[in-house]
Each structure stands twice: as structure tokens, then as C-alpha cells.
Chains A and B, each alone.
Chain A
Amino acid sequence: MSKIDIRVGGLGGQGVILCASIIGKAAAIHDNKHATLIQSFGPEARGSACSAQVMIDDHPIGYPYVKSLDVLVVMSRDAYKQFVTQLKPGGILLYEEELVTPGAMPPGVSAYAIPATRFAEQLGRRLVLNIVMVGFFAGVTGLLSEQAVEKAVLSSVPKGTEDLNLRAYRKGFEYGREQVESRRLESAANGQTQQSFAI
């Protein structure tokens, strides 16, 4: 795997940092890759834009800042607007379906949407929205092994919340897998090849 540059963006209170941190943890601890996470906070407690970048690589990471993104995960319209131009052609956009309305995207970008907030509420707690997004990321990109991300989720959430968070992760994961699969069938039917990441 060559270096993968990922950014997660949203508003304070959505668990942006936790989402990015679980992705990084899964890669660095359970999938034995190198990962670097750097975050930026806004000045207010809630509602400030915040984002985190995660770099994943088989080799040790030198320069730790992402430039252009392979994957962009956004949970707010502002985050989408701020970071969409950083997506590489052929990159992947993952967005919260009810909070973000994508406009023009760089060429070749594949976009996948998920009503993560709604799923989280249905599961029982809105605040597991970011865990749903983690699952969605894992299901769509296939960059990390399922067990690695599950372990990372379980070791990142408070004791007692594991059951609900695991369900949230799996919901996002299944939803992501389904979307990728149905697009693959669509492209195959149209005679196109689907771009994808190798693990």
C-alpha cells in the first residue's frame, strides 16, 4: 500500500477526532501499518469546525501533513466546502447524507452518502454517529481489516458502551459494503471498471 491520505471534517460535537483516531488506531495497532493523526480544533466548545487528518502507510511516515486527499469524510457542509477541493482525482468522498449536499467535485471522485445521524438515533444514541461513519469508511474503502477496526472501536469507547458502538460500526460497515457492491454490479453491467483500493 502506498501512502493513503485521509481527512475527517465536521463540527465540534460530532466526534470528528474520535472517528479519525479510531481509523488511525486500527491501522497502527491492529493492522500493523504506520499511521499519523494530526487534529485541529476550533476555539469554541461546540459548533466550531474541526478536522483531523490521518496518514496511513506501510512505511514509516516522514512529512506528516496531508496535501491532497485519497479519502475525505465529512459530517458538515462547512467541512465539505473547506476540504472538497483537496480530494485527488479518483479519490473517495464519504458524507453524511442529511447534513451535506455535495456540489461540484473534482473529476473522478466517487461519492458515497450515509444517513449516519438517523442511523445513530435509530440505534439508540445520536452520539454514535461518528462510529457509524467509521464503519462506513471501513466498508466503502476496504483499507483496513474488519477485525482491526472492530478492535479499535472497542478499545476506544467507554466501558459499557461497547455493544451499542459495535452495532453502530456494523451498521455503517454493512451500508458501505452494500453501496460498493451495488455500484460494482452497475459498472460491470455498463462494462466499466471500478476503481478501488487494495488493502
Chain B
Amino acid sequence: MKADPSGVLVGTHFIDGDHAACEGALAAGCRFVAGYPITPSTEVVERFAARIPLVGGVFIQLEDEIASSIAIQGAVWGGKKVMTVTSGPGLSLMMEHIGLAAITECPCVFVDVQRGGPSTGLPTLPAQADMMQVKWGSHGDYEPIALSPNSPQECFDLMIKAFNLAEMYRVPVFFMMDEVVGHMTERVVIPPADQIEVVERRWTAKKPAEYRPYETNGNMVPDMVKAGDGYRIHITGLTHDERGYPSMTPATQDKLVRRLLNKIRLNADKLLDVREEHTEDADVTVISFGITSRVATAAVDDARAQGLKVGHARLVITWPFPAARIAALAERTKVFLVPELNMGQMVQEVERAVAGRAKVVSIPHAGGTVHEPETILAKIMEAAR
């Protein structure tokens, strides 16, 4: 389906990642945002609030992130595409409601413009240390989707992808930006609406008497309804059956939780987005994501100019983690280097996927600024020996 032109700011712009992310959401059809201001994410919602008088939509600044993360879910059941925007401290507050979104299969986008942590940390400086939190932060078993843009253009393009994935899989989707990408200004080209593919919510074709909210029609993702269409539904965070009513039995639990996980795990191949360069013949492969990937590119280019067989695998979708692809790369690569603006998070997933078949070296960073290309280059040279 093509995007709704009312939300598409067609043209060539010179804007930062926060602003581009807002435009991506609008282009994707997002018309409800609830949020609470927090550096370095505030500009995303400020722009949304400024744009919607012309585009149409609602923005509410709520009393905190706890309220924001649940308000958006109400809006989903009211039929809207939604997002909330925050940084680390706000994301921590949202954890309970993230679990609710997972078990009620609520399509929503959480934008996390990561900053130094833990706690209040470095509000105005970057980090990439919330990567594991979005996967494991809420209690229980659930599988989110997470994307990592590395430029303002990607903040636009990948936001559309984030909203599309949310609708396709009915999961909370995390848009993992960071302060540098959020506040860096570059050219962003926004194409006409008819060149933007948007996935609409799959509304049920069944009549109210026949519709079961959590009955799947073979593809593991149930069809949705919205309030006001005449369907009587019960949506609960308690373990529930196809009717949506609580069903507190191990059997229901097993069936529900497995489906929630499998709708992502069994579609891992469709959820693969790793951008690779020179990995076909790489002895050393750098695995990176987000802003770090731009530093890594500089280091990899330098190393290749010196004749080293170095490859670069940039994770655009970080969750579900592309374990199969990394395992396949481990057949050829001898050393994986994983630079990230944290003290070693995604590297653990790399280690798991590689399962000892290659060496995995973490290039950690406590945050506050990005790696120097020389640091990564030095590790590449060391690994190449």
C-alpha cells in the first residue's frame, strides 16, 4: 500500500536524525504519539507536535514514560499507528508496559535515542548501551524487533520499516538511535508518497460473532479490530486463549508463549537485514551497528587499502539477532571484531552464534563519544596477524 500523502514531506531536506525520524513516522502513517521530554530525543516529539495541526493526529505529553507507554497501546486499539519516544531512563520506566504490548500483540514503535548511562548518566552524549535492555528488560519471554539506523536518511527510511514490521508481526518494535545520529544533520530525501510502501494493519474479515482476537489463520499473527467497529473484545495481560480471556493453565501458557516467540523466530529469514561489504573473502570481519558502523567503515576502508582481507557486516535489524547469518560467516572468517558503544552487549550474541568456530573480540566503549577509527583499525591489524 502507498503512503498517505498528507504525512509525506516530499523533498530534499537538511535535517537531523531526530527530525528525520519524526518525518518517517508521519510518512508511515503514525498519527498518535504520547511521550515525555528527555534529552536527546525531545526534538522527535516536538516536531511531531508542530506537524500534526496540518497533517492530523494527536500528541499528548503525559506525566511520565509509564503513562506514555500505555497511552499508545490504547490508541492502537483505537485504530491508530503509534509511537513513543524516549531515552534510556525513560525506557527503563516503560518496561512493564513493553511486556503488555508483547503479550497483547500490540503493534507499536518505541524510539530510544540512546545516551550515556546508567541512570541519568550523560544526557547529551551518545551510547549504545540499551541494546540488551530492549530484548530482556521486561519480565518473561518475548521477542521484540529492533532496528539501528546510522544516518538521518536511515532515520527516515528505517522508521517506515519499523512501523511496517510492527503491523506485520504485532510486536513492540524498538528504533535504536543514539545521540550522535539523532543530532547530526545530513541530507534526507523524502520521496513522493506513491514511492513509499506502507503496511496497513490487517483488519479481520470476520463478523463480530465469529471473530476471536487471538485466533490465527495459519500465519501466527492474528487479525485486528478497533474500538467502535462493533466487536466485543477482551484484551488482557493475563495469559489468554484465542478468545482473549484469561486462561491460567500451563497448556495455554505453552501455546501462547511459543506462538509469540515463533512468530518472530520462525520468520528470522524474513527479518534479516545485515548490510555486508567484502565479507565473501574476509579473514577478519567487523560486526557493527548504528553510529559505530560509520567509524568502523573508515577503519575497514583503511585496512583494505593496506591489502588486508577485512569484511564489514552492519546489523540494521539487531533483534532478532541474525545468528544464522553470523554462523555462516564464521565458516570463512577467523576473527570477528565487535565495536559497540557499550561494555560488551551484542558481542555476546555474536559469541553465541559463532559457537567457538572463530575468535570473537569485543571492542567496548563506556560511551560519551564514538570510537576513534584508529582504535578499530589497530584491533583489525592485531586480528589479521
Per the CB under 8 Å rule, do A and B touch in the complex?
yes
Look across to chain B and name the residue whose beta carbon is closest to the beta carbon of A155. B14
A29 and B297 form a contact (CB under 8 A): no
What are 16 A-B contacts with C-beta separation under 8 Å?
A21-B14, A24-B14, A25-B14, A28-B12, A28-B14, A29-B12, A29-B13, A29-B14, A35-B186, A37-B184, A37-B185, A38-B183, A61-B294, A62-B295, A63-B294, A64-B184
Total inter-chain residue pairs, C-beta < 8 Å: 46
Q: B242 contacts the other chain (Cβ, under 8 Å)?
A: no
Docked pose: A97 CA to B357 CA in angstroms: 63
Question: In whole angstroms, what is the CA distance A38 to B152 when docked?
Answer: 12
The 0/1 profile, CB within 8 Å of B marked 1, for residues 42-82 of chain A is 00000000000000000001111100000000000000000
Residues of B in contact (CB 8 Å), total: 16
A36 on the interface (CB 8 Å rule)? yes
When the two chains form the complex, which single residue of B12, B180, B186, B298 contacts A34, counting CB atoms closer than 8 Å? Answer: B186
Contact A38 B187 (CB under 8 A): no
Contact of B297 (CB < 8 Å), options: A24, A25, A39, A62: A62
B185 pairs with A62, CB closer than 8 A:
no
Known: A29-B187, A36-B186. 15 other contacts (CB 8 A): A24-B14, A29-B13, A36-B184, A37-B184, A37-B186, A38-B180, A39-B183, A61-B294, A62-B294, A62-B301, A63-B294, A63-B297, A63-B373, A64-B180, A65-B370
- Cα A64 to Cα B297 in complex, Å, equals 11
Given contacts A35-B14, A62-B301, A64-B180, contact A28 B187 (CB under 8 A): yes
Interface size on A, residues (CB 8 A): 16
**Chain B residue contacts of A39, Cβ below 8 A:** 183
Which B residues lie at the A interface, using CB under 8 A? 12-14, 180, 183-187, 294-295, 297-298, 301, 370, 373
Query: Are A21 and B297 in touch, CB under 8 angstroms?
Result: no
Which B residues lie within 8 Å of A62 (CB)?
294-295, 297-298, 301
In the complex, are the beta carbons of A34 and B187 less than 8 A apart? yes
B295 touches A63 (CB 8 A): yes
Cross-chain contact A24 with B185 (CB below 8 angstroms): yes
Classify the secondary structure of A's interface with B.
mixed
Residues of A contacting B294 in the complex (Cβ-Cβ under 8 angstroms): 61-64
Given contacts A21-B185, A38-B184, contact A63 B14 (CB under 8 A): no
Residue among A25, A34, A37, A63 facing the most chain B CB atoms (10 A cut-off): A63
Note all chain A residues with C-beta closer than 8 A to B187. Answer: 28-29, 34-35
Minimum CB–CB distance from B300 to chain A (whole Å) comes to 9
The residue on B at minimum CB distance from A55 is B186
- CB-contacts of A80-103 with B (<8 A): none
Q: Pick from A21, A29, A38, A63: contact of B298, CB below 8 A.
A: A63
Task: Give the most central of B185, B187, B294, B370: most A CB within 10 Å.
Answer: B185
Residues of B within 8 A of A37 (CB): 14, 184-186
| A36 to B, closest residue via Cβ | B186
- The minimal Cβ–Cβ distance linking A147 to chain B, given in whole angstroms, is 15
Q: Which residue of A lies closest to B301 (CB)?
A: A62
State the CA gap A21–B12 with chains docked (Å).
15
Q: Give bound CA distance, A164 to B180, whole Å.
A: 34
- In the complex, the answer to whether A28 meets B186 with C-beta atoms within 8 Å is yes
Taken together as a complex, chains A and B put the C-alpha atoms of A25 and B184 apart, in Å, by: 13
- Please indicate the chain B residues that have their CB under 8 angstroms from the CB of A24 in the complex: 14, 185
For the complex of A and B, 10 pairs with smallest distance between CB atoms:
A37-B185, A63-B298, A28-B187, A25-B14, A62-B297, A62-B298, A62-B294, A29-B12, A28-B14, A36-B186
Residues in B with CB closer than 8 Å to A25 are 14
Contacts of A65 in B (CB 8 A): 370
Cα A179 to Cα B170 with chains together (Å) = 63
Complex-state Cα separation, A37 to B16, whole angstroms:
9
Q: How far is the CB of B26 from chain A (nearest CB, A)?
A: 20
Residues from chain A with Cβ under 8 Å of B12 in the complex: 28-29
Least Cβ distance of B310 to chain A in Å? 14
Shortest distance in angstroms between A148's beta carbon and chain B's nearest beta carbon? 12
